[in-house]
Structure 1
Amino acid sequence: MQRYQREKRFRRIAWPRALPPAVIVVAVVVDLAWPPFNTFPLLATVSVTAAPVYSLARTVTSGGVALLTGWLLAFRESEEVISRPNVIGFTTLVTLTVVAAFLNRIFAREREQLRTSRQVAETVQRAMLPTVPERVPGLALATRYQAAQEEALIGGDLYAVHDTPHGLRMVIGDVRGKGTRSATLVNALLGAFHAAALQTPDLPSVVQAAEIQVQDVKARDEDAPYEDFVTAVFVEILPDRSALRMANRGHPPPLLVHGGRVTALEPKEPSLPLGLGDLAGPVVPVDRYELPPGATLVLFTDGIVEARDGTGAFFDPVPPLTGPLPADPGAVLDAMLAALFRHTDELEDDAAALAVTRLPDEGGEESGAAVRP
């Protein structure tokens, strides 16, 4: 995933870095083709275009190369280089190179501040997310989290896993918005899930506990808008690992990957996100699906399916998961995220993913049972 991010980042900055030498080449070609044309205004832009993308040394060097090019072109046209028009041109080049050096320092300082803010926000976000075990009896798990490149605020993505006597219980969700308010909702929801997952006997009670907690946080925050909400999926894999129960609260449907096929686990009845439960009844719809040995359940947040390419098309996670993939949750997530970063230049929103694979039964073949609700 990091390799694809580096490749995308390199392609984004390649053409701006090529602009200063391209301007010098154009100035030389124009001067050779049309000697009366004054190329000093073109050469004067070299250091300015270099300032946002080059280091200080390269910015000054670009200005020096432009100055030397201007002197050579002027000497080619006439041995009397020290004329009034040429002196004005050389002075302009030197002045703009000095200005570009100051601009370069300003740009570098702002880039460093933004990079530090992003690192702090991502560190805080990762610290809020609990550690997920790689293995529990009969299951293997993996998680991935990637902060948005365009943001420097704490995101609202969350996930958590608990292995309980009632089964393996998981939640993945996305809080609307960013910043301290979303962090408060993330902490409140994770706390409610941790307590309810261990104490309540059924999945609807876990969802109701989370709903009550989100409503309570909104009631205590007078500045919180009414439309604050959390989309989430709650999953309970039965103790014998043969099937799962799922409650979807307005979240993108999880995908079940098995035997080269991908099945979107769409809820039979749509439900409102957490925080808007007072607009719906108290009943929590729960769907049940079989979980064959070797199948992988993939859950993700909005940042993945809302990622766009250059034409504005949304990312579809189904194609990269279709075909032969190992029964390994980490490999499945890596395949999906590699395709994601081939699709988009930058993530506009944070992206979190959680996958769980039912390990093949010991001494038996993988089941070929169809997935059915």
Structure 2
Amino acid sequence: MVRGGGNRTGDEERRARRDQMSSWGRPLARWLPALLIVGGVLFDVVTPPQYTAAPFLSAAPLVAAPLYSLRATAGTALAAVVTEVLLATYHGAEDYYQSATEAVTVVVVALMALGINRVVRRSDARLASVRDVSEAAQRAVLPTPPDTLAGLAVAARYVGARAGARIGGDLHAVQDTPHGVRMIVGDVRGKGLEAVEAAVVVVGAFREAAEQETTLEAVASRLERAIEREGGRRTGLDQDEGFTTAVLAEVPAGNQSVLRILNRGHPSPLLLTPDGGLRELPPSAAALPLGLGDVAGWPDHADETFFPAGALLMLFTDGVTEARDRAGRFYDPCARLRGSQFSGPGDLLDVVVEDVARHTRGGPADDMALLAVQRPLEA
């Protein structure tokens, strides 16, 4: 069971502990090449002459290659070669050919380490550049929402997949409208720039429709038409297979105790109460994702439920529920969050993101978009 922090200080403490744990491993790894050289010398000195330190000395520059700069890797390689020559001199020339073979082995491996270092550094630079562009594009598509809207506390998070720097089509948006606070979380089929283009269309259509349409059903219809129109106009988007799973939610103006949900093939939102209770909000009738109106037609229907004072509503994409651990078990937010208490929507989303990272031992294999709103406690 996950426990939420009592205030924002709890978030800072969790991040500090995580940074501290990761900071312990980095110095140990960076000292490993030196430890291999020192350990090789000790091994060579205390063991019989037929045993050699060459494996230790060869491993040192290889370990340094992905960790160090080119200059530091070259220094490690030079130290390994010089150490091998000094050890050969120390033992004398009883077996010249063996000593020469060991020295040549260390030299060859050292040169390989320099080549590996160059490849790793160039790959890191390219990946960092792509990630910077991806993050900039994602921020442009999904700007950070304000902390409060019409009295509701709001928070959003976007976590990119660990598998690479490709931009995903996960999206979230929330805004205060004449009809209440309306929000959407969705997942566009596909990856890359085509998915981002589709996400831009969905978010743009939502922001316009949320202001103009009087019902969530009408908002969903506008999104449906926008996706179909965009699919017919863009050759990069497959009109027959392009779709977006989405969940729309609304807290009506003047009545924050009411919550309306319209789900189009998306993971069900969660409602968390201040006493640690948790309730899933599945749709009363299943519906296909947005963009598949030609496959089947049906009247959209928004389900209405009670929104208790102090309760948290969390919407999220399937990057959360499809995150797997090493045994292949899916992440279950209901089981992990039930019984927990949170100080606000930001605390809730931080806990979920960190818990998914622990579950997967590093991060999700798919992008995650999360949005949470909290109704204030009544005075």
Q: Do Structure 1 and Structure 2 share a fold, with TM-score over 0.5?
A: yes
Give identity over the alignment, percent: 38
CA distance 1:131–1:62, shift in 2 (3 Å): closer
Q: Which residue of 1 aligns with 2:271?
A: 256
Q: Deviations over 1:282-335 (max 9, x none)?
A: 311321111010000011112222222222222222345333524511122122
Distance 1:99 1:223 in 2: 43
**SS of the residue 2:164 aligns to:** coil
**SS of the residue 2:181 aligns to:** strand
Q: Which residue of 1 aligns with 2:232?
A: 219
CA distance 1:12–1:271, shift in 2 (3 Å): farther
Distance 1:46 1:135 in 2: 54
How much has 1:253 moved relative to structure 2? 0.9
Pairing 1:171–2:191 present:
no
Q: Deviations over 1:234-283 (max 9, x none)?
A: 00112211111111111111110102011111112111111112222231
> Aligned-residue CA RMSD in angstroms?
2.9
How much has 1:63 moved relative to structure 2? 2.2
How much has 1:68 moved relative to structure 2? 4.3
Q: Which residue of 2 aligns with 1:63?
A: 77
Pairing 1:358–2:375 present:
yes
Distance 1:97 1:342 in 2: 37
The answer to whether the 8 A contact 1:71-1:81 is kept is: no
Q: Which residue of 1 aligns with 2:287?
A: 271
**SS of the residue 2:66 aligns to:** coil
Distance 2:215 2:299 in 1: 13
How much has 1:2 moved relative to structure 2? 5.7
Q: Which residue of 2 aligns with 1:209?
A: 222
Structure 2 spans left out of the alignment, 5+ residues? 1-13
The answer to whether the 8 A contact 1:28-1:73 is kept is: no
CA distance 1:323–1:50, shift in 2 (3 Å): same
How much has 1:135 moved relative to structure 2? 1.4
The answer to whether the 8 A contact 2:40-2:53 is kept is: no
How much has 1:347 moved relative to structure 2? 2.4
Distance 2:18 2:129 in 1: 18
How much has 1:171 moved relative to structure 2? 0.5
**SS of the residue 1:355 aligns to:** strand
* Equivalent runs, 1:295-334 vs 2, <5 Å: 295-334=311-350
**SS of the residue 1:279 aligns to:** coil
Structure 1 spans left out of the alignment, 5+ residues? 363-373
Distance 2:125 2:15 in 1: 20
Q: Which residue of 1 aligns with 2:8?
A: none
Distance 1:139 1:338 in 2: 24
**SS of the residue 1:285 aligns to:** coil
Equivalenced residues, count: 361
* Equivalent runs, 1:116-265 vs 2, <5 Å: 116-225=129-238, 226-239=240-253, 240-258=255-273, 259-265=275-281
CA distance 1:335–1:218, shift in 2 (3 Å): same
The answer to whether the 8 A contact 1:130-1:159 is kept is: no
The answer to whether the 8 A contact 2:156-2:346 is kept is: yes
CA distance 1:157–1:197, shift in 2 (3 Å): same
Distance 1:214 1:2 in 2: 39
**SS of the residue 2:185 aligns to:** strand
Distance 2:234 2:354 in 1: 39
Q: Which residue of 2 aligns with 1:369?
A: none
Structure 2 residue aligned with 1:96, among 109, 117, 124? Answer: 109
Distance 1:88 1:265 in 2: 70
CA distance 1:14–1:339, shift in 2 (3 Å): farther
User: What's the TM-score, normalizing by structure 1?
Assistant: 0.86
Q: Quick one: which amino acid aligns to residue 256 of structure 2? A: R
* Greater CA drift, 319-328 or 13-22: 13-22
How much has 1:205 moved relative to structure 2? 0.7
Higher-RCO chain (CA-CA 8 Å, sequence separation at least 6)? 2
**SS of the residue 1:156 aligns to:** strand
Distance 1:247 1:343 in 2: 29
How much has 1:206 moved relative to structure 2? 0.4
* Greater CA drift, 203-212 or 62-71: 62-71
How much has 1:3 moved relative to structure 2? 5.4
The answer to whether the 8 A contact 2:44-2:52 is kept is: no
Distance 1:34 1:279 in 2: 78
Q: Quick one: which amino acid aligns to residue 257 of structure 1? A: L
**SS of the residue 1:51 aligns to:** helix
